[in-house]
Amino acid sequence: MSVYFVKKYLIKIDDRFFTAKKAIQRHIENEHISVFEALLQLNKEDTGLSDIQTELLKLFATGAPDKEIVNSTSANSISTIRQHRFKLKEKEKQAKVFLAIMQALETTKVYESIHKGATQVNERYAITEDDKEKVLATYFKNGFD
């Protein structure tokens, strides 16, 4: 069993072997400091965060008191920092509700079964009966014959 484990899951980095999980952890630490930092490095389009929100999240993560954060940013007062913190918490709640809505939506769809010859099964096969009918009507206007 250990031979199988070694062949399948160990990764060689600088003449040392690491499990896949440890290799990922090392990459995150070396390249991004933390998962938190890696996520904050994503584009605004991916995070939905403004520059000031990203900056404040980094400062919040340090545990600095609000008074210190005011001095480190363009914010005018502690109440401004508290307002930003409140808005971010609201955004978090909204994101959770949105994810729950999207997951609930997925359970309402009835998908077509995947044909036996499918070799790469992914989202492209997630098609409802209505979608299937629309595609067939679009590309086979005169029927299958």
20 vs 119: which has the higher pLDDT: 20
- Per-residue pLDDT band for 123 (boundaries 50, 70, 90) equals low
Q: Give strand ranges (E) for the chain.
A: 10-13, 16-19
> What residue type is 110 in one-letter code?
V
What percent of the residues of the chain are helix, what percent strand, and what percent coil, each to the nearest 5? 65, 5, 30
pLDDT one-digit tens code per residue, 8-61: 677 777 788 888 888 878 887 787 778 888 888 888 988 899 999 999 999 999
With beta carbons less than 8 A apart as the criterion, state whether 101 and 70 touch.
Answer: no
CA angle centred on 92, ends 28 and 100, rounded to 5°: 100
